[in-house]
Amino acid sequence: MKDFANSSYQRRKVAPNKIKVTRTPVDFKKYLLPLKFAVTTLIALTLASSILYGCYRAITKITLFSLKSIEVSTAKHLTREEILGLTGIEKGKALLHMDLKRMGEQLLQNPWVETVRINRYFPDTVSIVITEREPVAIVNMGFIYYLDKKGKVFKVLNQGDKLDYPVVTGFTEEELGSDPKGTREALESTCTLLDILRSKGAFILADVSEIHYDKGFGFTLFTASGALPVKVGSDDFAAKVERFAKIYKDLMVQMPSIRYIDLDYSDKIIVKKS
């Protein structure tokens, strides 16, 4: 057996298996500087906004920008007082505080008003310009309404409203609600027919007492003299009325014996006698 006690072999020391880590201190300034800049910017913006708002409030209180002059366009159906009453505008109010959009919306609630333009002019003026709807006919739909040149039924007639317009029948409020597109197109066709009848000729609008509309047969005119039915259909009004105008005077002599006249053909006129 080998005697290790007396052996000359010496055991080597083994270095420990460790890696030395060098720790670098965290530079908090690198992260705090952008945050500080953002906070400073926010505070600056807030202060600037407050200063601007304060200036705005101060400016609006200066008498230099108080309303002194109100210009209103001439209207046929509405008075100056009615227009001002609808807007709620008054002299002495701060010009910059006025809500012009709201004023315009209030004016448009009146059925006579078609368009509105309101402008403020510094230092002390507001201008109100409106265009009004103009009736071209009266539509009997249970209630009696005015019809404008665009085919829009826009106002129920009240006591004192003028009645010297052609009368249109055959339309109902129910149809206006259930078939708005079709009814609107038919009312626009009514206006087209009215325009043609207004043209100078032997047969004009003054010769018509009523215009009746029927979905299936189109339009029928009733003459002011004798209420003679004249059927014109749904299209090509100009050519039909022009043909009829040529024989209108001769036919009026025979009116007592005529039941109706049918123009709803492209090349002829049917005269139905009793």
Are 191 and 150 in contact by the 8 Å Cβ rule? The answer is yes
Are 252 and 240 in contact by the 8 Å Cβ rule? The answer is no
Are 146 and 87 in contact by the 8 Å Cβ rule? The answer is no
Going along the chain from its start, the domains and CATH numbers come out as: 63-132 (3.10.20.310), 135-273 (3.40.50.11690)
Report pLDDT for 52.
80
For CA atoms 228, 215, 150, 101, the dihedral sign is positive
Calculate the dihedral angle through the C-alpha atoms of 243, 246, 250, 256, rounding to the nearest 10 degrees.
30
Omega within 30 of 0 (cis) for the link into 256? no
**pLDDT higher than threshold 70 for residue 36:** no
| Residue 32 binned pLDDT confidence (cut-offs 50, 70, 90) | low
Label residue 25 left, alpha or beta by phi (over 0 means left) and psi (-120 to 50 means alpha): beta
Report pLDDT for 39.
72
Tell which wins on pLDDT, 174 or 6.
Answer: 174
